[in-house]
């Protein structure tokens, strides 16, 4: 036998096997059986992660299911390849709206058929019982999608958690209320469909995540901006009880009353719904459902006064999804009490720029509107004798106001909560040509906490950025795994009760800092928030 030629095929087989091992997905790819049928995942950009995209978690809310609670998934035959995102929900697609550039916006197809979610798993087998993080996108309740590039879940999944990103309905399709809708619903109410969507996503996780190597009893929810509002809704809704064990709020908690904390009654919202239908020329719910989504969104005709009527639908206390306002639910100690991690960004709303243009006169006028009879005390602490002085005062006052807002929220929450809360102040400016202009702007922390900087474009991401992302995402992953962000190699992050008057500055610095610039400023805001 010619051993030289006999050995060659075996060597080629070994080489081929090595190449395949390097390129093939190393985890669960499927087929995986879930509610509705069987799906097949695909290797992620990182081959240690398997992506399952566009999984339906409810029936398409179209036709007679428009403005109804999510219904069971429509079964499919065969193996469904889960290799692309489902439709984003109805919204106006925008390429960019600075400071939010391409990677922060939705770009795929939109449609009412949009109740899909994505799973990013590092599990090798279905028995690993990994912690799960369900991340809820922001967008003011009128835009956003789980397909937004920076919401990619692979970066966190690489650190040992399963990431799930669901869609939820937006705008009027998420919140329309009408007497006929309330009459047809078995729970005798309408509206709150966005909340019902994220509850349905949690229920899907409870029933199906074990198939992906996840533990249905170790679910943490999180979200940013409007997504943070949805997190708060879930902590207040009896429908979500027992479906999660921790919650993360990015730029979206407040002690001040607002629509999220004091929604209107069902009866009030129903009358708005009747008026909207009349303005659309619809005499019934059936007429409204016959309209296309484009017709629903068409501008309303002007009335006799020459002005078009305006309608804004939001959360309603319906005695089903929300049995009371969020504030009342917490005051009564009836919330879903879980550990919380909550904070905001340095330039969330210190103006469109880190150092905004504002005159001394405008600053004093704003102060009067906000602080009323406390204005003189406020201006003594944040003097604005000139326009240049006003710019500094505006920035410092806004940072103190926002940090105190989160801190006071945590104290208010702690009155009835038995679980800890960790607060933060994000200070790192996202790299890019506009870094100096926009600073640590609203949403800019997302590619760091989700460890998804690789999904950004045109930003010249540095090793320093990657180090920040590795650190802050480790805090997030620790919290997802244990309900505590602390861990080996990380600066200690205290709870509100452990370090009164302090919050954790994260990003460029990782250390506790005072929530206000001085004791006098702290006392001023304590008095202000006590009055509110």
Give Cβ neighbours of residue 10 (< 8 Å, ≥ 6 apart): none
Strands of the 130-136 sheet, one edge to the other? 42-43, 50-56, 116-121, 162-166, 130-136, 214-224, 246-250, 340-345, 421-426, 502-506, 511-514
Coil, strand or helix: which one is 54?
strand
CA 176 to chain CA centroid, nearest Å: 21
The phi-psi region of residue 63 (left if phi > 0; otherwise alpha if psi is between -120 and 50; otherwise beta) is left
Measured CA to CA, the distance from residue 375 to residue 369 in angstroms comes to 9
DSSP H/E element including 222:
strand 214-224
Residues designated as active site:
225
Nearest residue to 125 (alpha-carbon basis) of 38, 50, 236? 50
Closest CA to 79 of 140, 10, 33: 33
Whole-angstrom distance, CA of residue 441 vs CA of residue 350: 9
Give yes or no for a contact between 26 and 48, defined as CB atoms under 8 angstroms apart: yes
Of 125, 121, 112, nearest to 86 (Cα)?
A: 112
Contacts of 512 (CB under 8 A, 6+ apart): 493, 494, 499, 502, 503, 504, 505
Q: DSSP letters along 167-208, please?
A: ----THHHH---HHHHHHSTTS----HHHHHHHHHHHHHHHH
Pairwise CA distance, residues 449 & 472, whole Å: 6
Please, what is the Cα angle at 487 between 481 and 490, to 5 degrees?
Answer: 135
Cβ–Cβ contacts within 10 Å for residue 21, how many?
10
From residue 464, give the alpha-carbon distance in Å to each of 140, 204, 342, 471: 31, 38, 24, 11
> DSSP labels for 326-338?
HHHHHHTT-S---
Q: What angle do CA 214, 215, 217 make, to 5 degrees?
A: 150
């Amino acid at each position: 036998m010619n051993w030289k030629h006999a050995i060659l095929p075996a060597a080629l087989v070994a080489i081929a096997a090595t190449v395949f091992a390097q390129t093939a997905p190393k985890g669960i790819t499927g087929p995986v059986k879930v509610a509705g049928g069987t799906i097949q995942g695909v290797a992620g950009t990182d081959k240690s992660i398997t992506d399952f995209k566009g999984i339906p978690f409810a029936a398409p809310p179209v036709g007679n299911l428009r403005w109804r609670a999510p219904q069971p998934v429509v079964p499919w035959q065969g193996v469904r390849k889960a290799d692309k995102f489902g439709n984003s929900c109805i919204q106006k697609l925008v390429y960019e709206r600075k400071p939010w550039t391409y990677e922060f916006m939705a770009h795929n197809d939109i449609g009412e058929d949009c109740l899909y979610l994505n799973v990013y798993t590092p599990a090798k087998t279905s028995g690993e019982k990994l912690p799960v993080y369900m991340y809820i996108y922001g967008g003011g309740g009128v835009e956003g999608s789980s397909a937004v590039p920076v919401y990619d879940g692979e970066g966190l999944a690489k650190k040992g958690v399963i990431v799930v990103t669901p869609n939820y309905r937006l705008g009027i399709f998420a919140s329309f209320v009408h007497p006929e809708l309330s009459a047809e619903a078995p729970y005798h109410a309408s509206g709150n469909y966005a909340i019902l969507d994220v509850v349905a996503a949690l229920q899907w996780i409870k029933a199906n995540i074990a198939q992906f190597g996840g533990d249905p009893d170790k679910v943490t929810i999180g979200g940013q901006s409007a997504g943070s509002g949805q997190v708060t809704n879930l902590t207040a809704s009896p429908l979500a009880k027992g479906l999660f064990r921790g919650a993360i709020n990015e730029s979206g908690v407040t002690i001040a009353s607002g629509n999220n904390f004091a929604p209107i009654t069902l009866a009030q919202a129903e009358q708005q719904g009747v008026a909207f239908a009349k303005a659309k020329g619809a005499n019934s719910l059936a007429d409204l459902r016959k309209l296309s989504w484009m017709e629903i969104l068409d501008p309303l005709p002007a009335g006799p006064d020459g002005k078009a009527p305006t309608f804004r639908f939001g959360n309603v206390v319906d005695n089903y999804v929300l049995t009371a306002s969020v504030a009342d639910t917490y005051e009564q100690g009836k919330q879903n009490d879980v550990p919380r991690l909550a904070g905001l960004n340095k330039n969330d709303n210190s103006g469109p720029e880190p150092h905004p243009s504002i005159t001394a006169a405008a600053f004093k006028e704003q102060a009067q509107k906000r602080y009323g009879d406390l204005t003189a005390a406020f201006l003594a602490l944040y003097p604005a004798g000139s326009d240049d002085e006003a710019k500094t005062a505006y920035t410092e006052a806004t940072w103190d106001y926002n940090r105190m807002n989160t801190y006071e929220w945590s104290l208010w929450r702690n009155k009835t909560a038995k679980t800890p809360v960790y607060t933060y102040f994000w200070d790192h400016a996202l790299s890019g040509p506009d870094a100096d202009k926009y600073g640590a702007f609203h949403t800019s922390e997302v590619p760091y906490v989700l460890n998804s900087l690789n999904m950004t474009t045109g930003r010249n991401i540095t090793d320093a950025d990657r180090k920040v992302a590795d650190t802050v995402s480790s805090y997030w992953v620790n919290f997802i795994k244990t309900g505590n962000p602390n861990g080996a190699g990380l600066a200690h992050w205290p709870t509100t009760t452990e370090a009164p008057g302090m919050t954790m500055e994260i990003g460029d610095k990782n250390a506790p800092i005072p929530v206000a610039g001085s004791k006098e400023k702290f006392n001023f805001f304590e008095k202000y928030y006590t009055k509110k």
